[in-house]
Amino acid sequence: MQQGTGVLVLWEHVLLNTKFSRIIELGTGWGGLSLYFALWCEERGAKFHTFDIAKKWKDTPLAKMICLASYFHVLDVLHNPQPIKELIVRPGPSIVFCDNGDKREEFRQLAPILKPGDIIGVHDWGREIGRRDVTDVMVDHLLDVIELDLCRITDSHTRLFKKREISCEC
Residues in a beta bridge with 39: none
SS3 120: strand
Query: What phi and psi, each to the nearest 5 degrees, are found at residue 56?
Result: -110, -15
Which CB atom, from 72 or from 161, has the smaller least distance to ligand SAM? 72
Which CB atom, from 73 or from 131, has the smaller least distance to ligand SAM? 73
Which CB atom, from 42 or from 124, has the smaller least distance to ligand SAM? 124
> Should residue 3 be labelled a site residue for ligand SAM when binding is judged by CB under 6 A?
yes
CA distance 1 to 8: 10
* Whole-number Cα distances in Å, 110 to 94, 95, 107, 138, 168: 12, 11, 5, 12, 25
Q: How far is the CB of 126 from ligand SAM (least distance, A)?
A: 16
Q: How far is the CB of 34 from ligand SAM (least distance, A)?
A: 7
Number of residues that bind ligand SAM (CB under 6 A): 20
Do 59 and 31 touch, CB atoms closer than 8 A?
no
Residue 12 CA, chain-centre distance (Å), reads: 14
Residues 49-108 that bind ligand SAM (CB under 6 A): 51-54, 56, 76-78, 99-101
Residues 123-162 that bind ligand SAM (CB under 6 A): none
Cβ atoms within 10 A of the Cβ of 52, count? 24
> Should residue 8 be labelled a site residue for ligand SAM when binding is judged by CB under 6 A?
no
Residues that bind ligand SAM (CB under 6 A): 1-3, 25, 27, 29-30, 32-33, 51-54, 56, 76-78, 99-101
